[in-house]
Structure 1
Amino acid sequence: MTNFYDINKNKELLVQQLEYTAKNSPFYKAQFKKNNIDIGQVNSYREFRKIPITTKEDLQNYNEEFIAVKKDEIIDYVTTSGTLGNPVSFALNDADLERLAENERLSFEMVGVTKSSVMQLTTTLDRRFMAGMAYFLGLRKLGAGIVRTGSGLPGLQWESIERFKPDFLIAVPSFLLKMIDFAIENGIDYRNSSIKAAVCIGEPLRNPDFSLNSLGRKIKDLWDIELFSTYASTEMATAFTECNQHKANHSLSSLIFTEVLDENQNPVKPGEIGELVVTPLQTQTMPLVRFATGDMVKFYGGNCDCGRKSMRISTPVGRKKQMIKLKGTTLYPQQIINLLTAFETLKIFVIVASLNENQTDELLIRIPNDFVEIDRLQEHLQSGLKIKIPLERTSVEKLEKLKFPKESRKPKIFHDYR
């Protein structure tokens, strides 16, 4: 058993969390009893692994049974983004909101935000979105300045940058490209703005070897600011964040116990890809134990050049349920997205997965009606993927609606109808 999964590193917090959960969560009371789990005997990772995995389906099907506090203690209600199905309801009490603030304070400090910094939030604080509230609470706890512009509206973003001189942005990477386009079209000297760095959410920035992916390179080539990757989810209410070495995302060991498991639920070795499984620590309202996120990440172990010893993982290389089997080849949507983003003249696209009449996977890439370099794009894709994927012309208006649906909090490039 690898020492990366040694529970002694935060044993006291983990034991406290297990004891609290066993006492207060209706779902886990039943689960532990059904599986003869004695929390008092969990003194090693070997014993901890006897606890069954909790799935997203469990959370959907038994949602209210996960609530471990009285209803009048709940302060905030949020939902997941619903990437892999219907959004799941989540609730937080005062202690959870304080923990959320501490999570973001630690994360922001990791990327160099200080009390004297000013951060512009280009994310929504409404629509039941946990992250927007988390960023605000974390910056408030840190004491940094906050500019709450919200999502969209590139004109307002640049007017706010000119007015308040923030040095950091929080943004979805593809929105940074929209801001750059707006600046170029309107003669804004964006390269000499006050912005020094962006904390990027919702879309991967880097390849598993730490290099910027095609989206990250495109932003960096146009706007030479420092780009920090961060990864989180509503369920784990904890962020994995890059430090200034940009060599994977650090876990916050005081707030989460992290596992990366193969398809047989065994720990992967450093350098291998597996599913991220988490046990958030110090949560009260809806504690989760060994929750399978569905995200496939590369595991790097500990010991970063920055001096931190915390476990490091990549941002997701794909979703477990989004894995595509096509003509004997295994693909994840992000591989295709990276190749399409790297094709400079292709400004917008959407990927569609479905099942054919034989109930096997089928892919289609929708591209703009006026796109002319079909043959070169097809060659580019085939070279990178080793298979041919059909391309279909679609109006830009329809592509915009597919990519930015009104009900979604982030771009939806991959549509899975399987």
Structure 2
Amino acid sequence: MSTTSLLQFWPEIPGQDKNSAYALHAQLLFTQWMQPDRFLHFQLRQLENLLRFTGRNSPYWAEDLKFLEALPVGELYAEHLALIPVMSSGALQQNSQQIIIRKKLANHGRSRMARISKPGVPPIKMMVTGLIDAWNDALALRSLDWDESDVSMPCVRIFQGGDKQKSGRIERGSILPWSGPMHVISAALPSADQLQELMRIKPGSLQTEPHILEGLLEQAVLQGSKPDSLREIRCRAQSLDPELSKLAEKTWGVPVIQEYFLEEIGVIAHQCPVQQGLHINSEFVFVEILNEDDKPCTAGQTGRVVVTPLQNFQTPLLRYDTGDFAEMGGACDCGRTLPLLKNVFN
């Protein structure tokens, strides 16, 4: 099998600019309703592309992927994943130089090195590409579409990763040309100052993390402050306390929309707009919920969350243990066939 054919994508994407994100999102509008068996067929072909390429080019994974040499092309099934050991975050941290594939890849866009910071551990180095940027934009469009968000109003972002970033307006903060202005409030500011800035900007949407939101709400209760323009809060987190969502609705009268997010992966799942639970972005990541015997969980069972990003060929994370647990959901009332997670926690 040629290198060129190994690097074909599903869903197909024409490039790595903003227009590519729109084209990719247009495909996601259809794949979210696809019959599960047909979806799995395409998902496994993308996974096979990733595994075969990784086995040839990443010293860290070469031995674990030798089984592919005897496997006919197109014959990879989900059961074959059990042949690959689960990788911990510690293994990624210690072996990133062997995991990273530094060769230039056609149609992946410009590569850059990223440093992923987590509390209490040294930063993790990863290589990401323009292709990943296009995917992140497309998944953001999916989320806005599901929640019927009014993007014409200002948006405020407060994330821990932006500690060193000064507060202010971002000139290219949105993927939609008709969107309202995007503003950043530094996470390094005290909660009272963050709330003051939030009240001044009058956003329609707030994008943040649970611990930051908690501080804002505490100050809002103390001061009796309510940003009347606010229509939604988007929380990127590994887990979200339901009590925090209730507090936001009680204090500000707005819903909290959860995005299951890991810095080293991206947005793994979005909150369903119809019922409780998070739909996995299965075009972007292959998710396994494994029981104590490392067997796949069925609906109603809880297990650890193990993920394989399908679109990052330069830092392949195969069967990456997130450290989280989730309950596997069943068929969703919204009609989308993307797998459903319930009660994600760590």
Q: TM-score range by the shorter chain?
A: 0.7 to 0.9
Matched, 1:31 2:103: no
- The residue that corresponds to 2:73 in the other structure is 40
Q: Work out the CA distance in 2 between the residues paired with 1:254 and 1:137.
A: 30
- The residue that corresponds to 2:249 in the other structure is 220
After TM superposition, the score normalised by the length of structure 1 is: 0.62
- The residue that corresponds to 2:217 in the other structure is 180
- The residue that corresponds to 2:337 in the other structure is 309
Q: Work out the CA distance in 2 between the residues paired with 1:311 and 1:300.
A: 7
CA contact (8 A) 2:245 2:255 kept: no
Matched, 1:251 2:280: yes
Offset, 1:184: 4.5
- The residue that corresponds to 1:78 in the other structure is 115
Offset, 1:269: 1.2
- The residue that corresponds to 1:201 in the other structure is 236
Give the aligned residue type for 1:79: I
Aligned residue among 118, 124, 136 for 1:88: 124
After TM superposition, the score normalised by the length of structure 2 is: 0.74
Matches within 5 A, 1:299-378: 299-301=328-330, 303-318=331-346
Matched, 1:118 2:154: yes
| Inter-CA distance 37–86: structure 2 relative to 1 (3 Å threshold) | farther
Cα offsets for 1:358-394 (capped at 9, x unmatched): xxxxxxxxxxxxxxxxxxxxxxxxxxxxxxxxxxxxx
CA contact (8 A) 1:37 1:51 kept: no
Offset, 1:36: 6.9
| Inter-CA distance 270–5: structure 2 relative to 1 (3 Å threshold) | farther
Q: Work out the CA distance in 2 between the residues paired with 1:27 and 1:288.
A: 11
Matches within 5 A, 1:256-267: 256-267=285-296
Q: Work out the CA distance in 2 between the residues paired with 1:246 and 1:87.
A: 37
SS in 1 for 2:338: coil
CA contact (8 A) 1:298 1:317 kept: no
Offset, 1:6: 7.8
Matched, 1:140 2:174: yes
Matched, 1:11 2:44: yes
CA RMSD of aligned residues (A): 3.3
SS in 2 for 1:232: strand
Cα offsets for 1:112-157 (capped at 9, x unmatched): 335424321011454699xxxxxx8996224433111132444554
Cα offsets for 1:190-239 (capped at 9, x unmatched): 0x610111112336335xxxxxx333333332222111122111232233
Q: Work out the CA distance in 2 between the residues paired with 1:60 and 1:203.
A: 19
- The residue that corresponds to 1:103 in the other structure is 139
Cα offsets for 1:17-65 (capped at 9, x unmatched): 2233223322222322389774736432223332332222321221111
Give the aligned residue type for 2:203: P
| Inter-CA distance 240–4: structure 2 relative to 1 (3 Å threshold) | farther
Q: Work out the CA distance in 2 between the residues paired with 1:253 and 1:78.
A: 25
Matches within 5 A, 1:35-74: 38=71, 40=73, 42-70=75-103, 74=111
Structure 1 unmatched ranges of 5 or more:
130-135, 207-212, 319-418
Q: Work out the CA distance in 2 between the residues paired with 1:276 and 1:69.
A: 28
Give the aligned residue type for 2:184: R
Offset, 1:297: 1.1
Q: Indicate the larger mover: 244-253 or 109-118.
A: 109-118
Percent of aligned positions with the same letter in both sequences? 21
Q: Work out the CA distance in 2 between the residues paired with 1:285 and 1:259.
A: 22
Aligned residue among 200, 203, 207 for 1:170: 207
| Inter-CA distance 264–5: structure 2 relative to 1 (3 Å threshold) | farther
- The residue that corresponds to 1:381 in the other structure is none
SS in 2 for 1:62: helix
Offset, 1:102: 2.6
Matched, 1:149 2:185: yes
Q: Work out the CA distance in 1 between the residues paired with 2:238 and 2:297.
A: 24
- The residue that corresponds to 1:403 in the other structure is none
| Inter-CA distance 105–51: structure 2 relative to 1 (3 Å threshold) | same
CA contact (8 A) 1:196 1:225 kept: yes
Q: Work out the CA distance in 2 between the residues paired with 1:8 and 1:266.
A: 20
CA contact (8 A) 1:117 1:166 kept: yes
Structure 2 unmatched ranges of 5 or more:
1-35
CA contact (8 A) 2:164 2:186 kept: no
Report how many aligned residue pairs link the two structures: 300
Offset, 1:252: 0.9
Q: Work out the CA distance in 2 between the residues paired with 1:97 and 1:137.
A: 17
Query: Which structure has the bigger radius of gyration?
Result: 1
CA contact (8 A) 2:290 2:296 kept: yes
Give the aligned residue type for 1:89: K
Aligned residue among 295, 299, 303 for 2:324: 295
Higher relative contact order (CA 8 A, sep 6+): 2
CA contact (8 A) 1:201 1:231 kept: yes
Q: Work out the CA distance in 1 between the residues paired with 2:218 and 2:163.
A: 27
